[in-house]
Structure 1
Amino acid sequence: MALSKTQQALRLVSDGVPIKVAAARAGIAESTLRMAIGRTKDKEQCPCCGQVVREGFEVDRSVLKG
């Protein structure tokens, strides 16, 4: 499954790349990346794709590899 541009930029930021540089590399606006960081802060994320797990849902860890 291919990651969205925003997810690619979020991954770059988590790897230590500055926000401005990550946004440029992914081809998105810096403000888009900052909004995504705000939405994901302090929330559980899917270990496979990095999407925020919405309230009322949970990750089924039994199906994860490794």
Structure 2
Amino acid sequence: MALAFAPRERCPVCAQPAPGARVCGRCLREPPAFERGVALADYDELTRPLIEALKFHDTPGLAPWLAAHLC
């Protein structure tokens, strides 16, 4: 399996999937405390181990790669 980068149609506020890349209903009803979210990929069986390795298993070497793909 290959890492599937996030589709372009996402809410510009929370980065959750949203048809037409419009602000989603949840963000319209209850605007979050932040202005913008960014998603590299969906949080799934492929991306979960990457995030967990960075957060919990002392693998800071993943941070530059993830950061480069988020910007």
| TM-score under structure 2 length normalisation | 0.25
Larger radius of gyration: 2
More helix per residue:
1
| TM-score under structure 1 length normalisation | 0.26
